[in-house]
Amino acid sequence: MSILSALFLFATGAVPPPAPPPPDPPAILVSRQLLASEHLALGDVIALSGDPKGSRAREFRIAGVYEPVPDPARLGMVPLEARLHLSDLLALIADPADPAASESVRSIGVKLVSPAEASAFMRDLTVRVPGLLLRELAASDDSDVTFVVLDRFHLAISLVTVIASSIFLLALMVMLVDERRDTVAVLRLIGLRRRRIFIQVLAEGLVIALAGALFGVLLAVVLEGGFNRFFQWRYDTALVFVRVTPAIAARAVSVAVPLGILASVAASWGLLRRGAMALARR
Amino acid sequence: MSPPVVEARGVTRTFPMPAGPVVAVRDLSVTIATGEFVSICGPSGCGKSTLLHILGCVDTPSSGELLVDGRDVSTLGDAARSALRLSKIGFVFQRFFLLPMLTAAENVELPQAEAGVSRAERRSRTSALLDYVGLAHRTHHRPSQLSGGEAQRVAIARALANRPRLLLADEPTGELDQATGQQIVGLFERVHADGTTVVVVTHDPAIAARTPRMLSMRDGRIEDGASR
Amino acid sequence: MSAKVWAFALRSLARQPGRAILGILGVAAVGALLFDMLLLSRGLLVSFRALLDSAGFDVRVMAADAPALARPRIAEAETAAAAIRALPDVDEVASLRLGNAIVTGPDGGTHDIFFIGADAQTRRRPWILLEGRDLGASDTGGPPPLVVNRRLATTLRLRPGSELTLRGDCARGVASAAPPVRFRVAGFAAFPFDDPKAMTAAARLADFGRTCGLDEKSDADLFLVASREGRGPEAAVRAIRALRLDLHAFSNEEIVARFQQVGFSYFRQISAVLSTITLFFGFLLITVLLTVSVNQRFAEIAALRALGFTRRRVVLDVLAQAVLLVGAGGVLSLPLGLALARWLESILHAMPEIPAAMHFFAFEPRALATHALLLALTAVLAALYPMRLVSRLPIAATLRSEMVT
């Protein structure tokens, strides 16, 4: 989160530029959401203040609109943000009674040429500028952790749905096989071997599983757009919620096909083990 | 002559088919008197099963009247017809249609339970019926553990469970060998002798010959309704 | 439905035990997921409400209706707190200041901790004392008192009576130039909003101000207000709003309602989507099972109708089968769902900044009632098509076709 978001932005709405025209107000960028919520437009002059009473408000001209970087941890919160030049921000929030205030910032970000030498850099800086608080930012921040956790959560949910689907598939195959009991009995009676029927069951299971998996992937691709559009509309965000990649499609097919085959075999196992006469007798 | 149990007056039954309507029963009138033992015979497709279904109130004639115990049942609703079948008509089917998950006794108890007979009375009546059909030793057997003849005996016991006035049987020996079939006909004779009106549909002339009255059908009509 | 209908339906299901067991297991799996999604849809709200209520304060007062990070402080806090305290609807007011501090561990490493400055005069405290003594209102000599959470105590190997030095990092936008302050650990406390990794310490307002180099009487981040018994938080909120138009007072109820709108609504959305999918899945499973079963039993059903079973009776049999399958699966889904919820909770709790006492899956009776209602509805809907097949079954035509086949 930038220093800008720490500022309480007090948008008082569009105000007509004073006459005679003073020097042009400084330029700022506003988030798309702020532009929409306050009914602003590019080129509008707005007043911003550092405190809720609106004291010491200053005017700025909207020079551009930006889409805030989507943050899943802040999903649902409308990012009403503005980006100012640092000097404008300091002039807006600094205490006029404190001459040093306009020189103060909360933090300074440093990008090292050699990130591996961060510890040595920090030791060196502590000696050179006593009183500074130095922290090394980890490679991953909280947003990454949130993504990883959500990923694990979705994986766990998909595991449960795979279990439920397997049961459904098995139930379907059991019914299918039961329906074919008479046919299997006749085939056995006319001399077909168990192995031959087993291969046929296996082939049927493969075809059903493959067709089902491909249909599932196709359905996911079709639903992908609708799902994303709904949630992007619901949360007013540019986050992409669902993305069916070839790798995910391949993973889905690679799970579904063996499960389908296994379900076919499991369902027909009892039927294949019985003798032809036992099958023919109801 | 005894009063009629069931009477069909000018009954016609037409089935709509893609190639045009098929008339299964054509302007047919027949009266089954109380205490009769009647067989309906004829070649396949002559309409004998359709007539039996109409007499048994499971099918509705396209035209004509059907009277059960002197009451016109053509206009009765489904619930009333069901109640009528439950209390007054017993059915025996070619393929028995015993419920496989129930024992012989439970199959016989089923219509009684549906009619609201008390548990004690059901037990006693079921025991008596299974004894009557010669299956007292098979009470707790499931249909899959019974022979065809035994299963049909259970089906007859079930049909008699609510003391019906009319017992209808549709090809009751069709699934059985000749000897067993003869035993089943013998059982029907005994049921008739004990006071129940029996109508049997059969294509077997030997069985028809054992009934006092035979209705011979062809093309949806009764050709001969001789009593012997 | 009478007992004989249930008994008959049970026998009908038992006829094909493999099929029935698969149906029950399928419903149990989707029912467990449905139950979890219902718990998830309100879990955060329920536990958030419990956290808000845990300290006994039922109103929160802020300077602005803005997120914590961007919120200005309440100016002239002592005067404002005194005015609010004097309201007849208010029982107690606690001023809070929030910030960060840095401590040095026994290994020489530094640790960022969450640092709270709290009014030591109040009876209620925004934490629960676990061991040792609480912050006293008066000085007893020596370093000022501090209460710390267990994690901080464990990390720094602290005991009640231990001393530690804090360096304030509290002012937003202004670097703290205050010298480090030595504190004495008075006791250990549980802070409701701590996440599992949080290290938290609380000091008196004056000591907090000294550590952060701030005027102790100037600002407050937050007032925690307890309404007077019998008056209720709504009355207190109204009174505070009338007293100070520039302050923003919210009852716990209102905060929860706001949280419901924005906070973690993704989980509510995902739970709604998954609940719909699981219900559809359960519906499909039961419909297919019953339809196939009914199709295979057409002749038998026609025979039962010929024997005098009414249409209503055979239709009820199908409905009873659906209810039995879904009912048994639904009952089984509850322990499964609770076990699954524990697993999913452990996954989701790895999210940053989630208070340890907050739960994504919180049990409440209404979730159970909704679960039962939705499953019952699924059972009825799933049975509709096979029930329609049975109700429209022509007896004579079915018996005839059975003879032909």
pLDDT band at residue C234 using 50, 70 and 90 as cut-offs: very high
**Domain boundary assignment for chain A:** 3-103, 107-137, 142-280
Tokens of C337: 């769902």
Out of C12, C300, C396, the one facing B53 most closely (by C-beta) is C396
Does residue B50 sit within a domain?
yes
Q: CA of A179, closest CA in chain C: separation in Å? A: 8
Query: Using CA atoms, how far apart are residues B31 and B4, in angstroms rounded to an integer?
Result: 6
Neighbour tally for A97: CB within 10 Å: 6
Q: Is residue B62 part of a domain?
A: yes
Q: Strand runs (DSSP E) across C63-180, as ranges?
A: 74-75, 90-104, 110-118, 128-132, 145-148, 163-168
Interface test with C, best of B52, B96, B114 (most C CBs within 10 A): B114
pLDDT of residue C230: 87
C243 in contact with chain A, both atoms CB, cutoff 8 A: no
Instruction: Give the number of other Cβ atoms within 10 Å of residue A125's Cβ.
Output: 13
Min Cα separation A139/chain C (Å): 15
The residues that bridge with C182 in the sheet, in sequence order, are: C165
What are the CA-CA distances from residue A193 to residues A180, A184, A185, A282, C393 (Å)?
16, 10, 11, 21, 39
Which amino acid belongs to residue A244?
V
In this predicted structure, the answer to whether residue C195 has a pLDDT above a threshold of 80 is yes
| CATH number of the domain residue B212 falls in | 3.40.50.300
Report the distance separating Cα C301 and Cα C398, nearest Å: 9
The burial of B179, by beta-carbon neighbours within 10 Å (0-12 exposed, 13-18 middle, 19 or more buried), is given as exposed
Q: Is the pLDDT at C152 greater than 90, yes or no?
A: yes
Residue B41 lies in a domain: yes
Show residues of chain C in contact with B115, CB under 8 Å.
308
Mean predicted confidence (pLDDT) in C131-151: 84
Which residues in chain A are closer than 8 Å to C292, comparing Cβ atoms? Answer: 175, 179
How many structural domains are present in chain B? Answer: 1
Question: Which tokens go with C243?
Answer: 């007293």
Radius of gyration (Cα) for chain C, nearest Å? 31
* Residue B157 lies inside a defined structural domain of this protein: no
Asked if the Cβ–Cβ distance from A76 to C261 is below 8 Å, we say yes
Which of A175, A227, A228, A231 has the highest number of chain C CBs within 10 A, making it the mutation to test binding with C?
A175
- Domain of residue B171 covers 4-97+165-224
Rounded CA separation C31/C374 (Å) = 10
Query: Using alpha carbons only, how large is chain B's radius of gyration in Å?
Result: 17
Check if C5 contacts A (Cβ < 8 Å).
Answer: no
C30 CA: distance to closest CA in chain B (Å): 29
* B11, B119, C59, C75, C200 from A242: Cα distances, Å: 67, 61, 40, 46, 38
Q: Which residues of C touch A157 (CB under 8 A)?
A: 33, 274, 344
Choose, out of B58, B86, B96, the residue to mutate when testing the contact with C (most C CBs < 10 Å).
B58
C310 contacts: CB under 8 Å, gap ≥ 6: B78, B79, B82, B83
* Inter-chain CB proximity A76 and C264 less than 8 Å: yes
- Mutate which of C34, C266, C300 to test chain A, going by most A C-beta atoms within 10 A? C266
Site from A51, A129, A135, A167 to mutate, C interface, most C CB atoms within 10 angstroms:
A167
How close, in Å, is residue A92 to chain C by CA atoms? Answer: 12
Strand partners, C165: C182
Which chain C residues contact residue A145 at CB under 8 A?
350-352
Give the pLDDT mean for B194-201.
Answer: 93
- The residues, any chain, with a CB within 8 Å of residue A254's CB and separated by 6 or more, are none
Please list the ranges in chain A whose pLDDT falls under 50.
1-15, 139, 282
CB C123, CB C269: distance < 8 Å: no
The DSSP secondary-structure symbol of C4 reads H
User: What pLDDT digit, counting tens, does each position of C175-190 carry?
Assistant: 456 788 899 999 999 9
Beta-carbon pairs below 8 A across chains B and C: 78
Per-residue pLDDT band for B45 (boundaries 50, 70, 90) equals confident
Contacts of C155 (CB under 8 A, 6+ apart): C105, C111, C199
> Any idea what the Cα angle at residue C391 is, between residues C331 and C310, rounded to 5°?
90
Q: Which of C308, C312, C400 sits opposite B49 (nearest CB)?
A: C400
Q: DSSP string of A170-185?
A: HHHHHHHHHHTHHHHH
Average pLDDT, chain C: 87
DSSP secondary structure string for all residues of chain B: -PPEEEEEEEEEEEE--TTS-EEEEEEEEEEEETT-EEEEE-STTSSHHHHHHHHTTSS--SEEEEEETTEE-TT--HHHHHHHHHHHEEEE-TT----TTS-HHHHHHHHHHHTT--HHHHHHHHHHHHHHTT-GGGTT--GGGS-HHHHHHHHHHHHTTT--SEEEEESTTTTS-HHHHHHHHHHHHHHHHTT-EEEEEES-HHHHTTSSEEEEEETTEEEE--B-
With contacts defined as CB-CB under 8 Å, which chain A residues touch C112?
135
The answer to whether position B119 is within a domain reads no
Residue C65 token pair? 């209706």
Residues in C touching B162 (Cβ below 8 Å) = 308
Cβ–Cβ contact B37 with C under 8 A:
no
Q: Residue A128: its pLDDT value, please?
A: 80
The DSSP bridge pattern shows strands C181-190 and B197-202 to be unpaired
B53 touches chain C (CB under 8 A): yes
**A51-63 core/surface letters (b: 16 or more CB in 10 A; e: else):** bbeeeebebbebe
CA A200, CA A261: separation in Å to the nearest integer? 11
**Interchain contact B100–C (C-beta under 8 A):** yes
Q: Which chains touch A (3 or more CB pairs under 8 A)?
A: C
Residues within 8 A of A (CB atoms), C 154-193 only:
169, 172-175, 177
- Rounded to whole angstroms, the Cα distance separating C305 from C320 reads 17
pLDDT at residue number C216:
53
B33: CB partners within 8 A, 6+ apart: B1, B2, B3, B4, B5, B197
Average pLDDT over residues B189-210: 91
What subunits make at least 3 CB pairs under 8 angstroms with C?
A, B
Per-residue model confidence as pLDDT tens digits over C84-113: 999 999 999 999 988 888 887 777 778 889
* A231 chain-C contacts, CB cut-off 8 A: 269
pLDDT(C168) > 80: yes
φ, ψ dihedrals at C148, nearest 5°: -130, 155
Tokens of A38: 């306050």
Q: Which chain A residue has its CA at the smallest distance from C277's CA?
A: A161
- Return left, alpha or beta for C367; rule: phi > 0 is left, psi -120 to 50 is alpha, else beta: alpha
**pLDDT at residue A198, rounded to an integer:** 82
CA distance A194 to A172: 22
CB-CB under 8 Å, A168 with C281: yes
A195: closest CA of chain C, how far (Å): 24
The C-alpha atoms of residue C262 and residue C274 are separated, in whole angstroms, by 20
Reply yes or no on whether the pLDDT at C172 is more than 60: no
Mean predicted confidence (pLDDT) in C228-247: 90
Q: Do B83 and C403 touch (CB under 8 A)?
A: no
With bands split at pLDDT 50, 70 and 90, how would you rate the model's confidence at C69? low
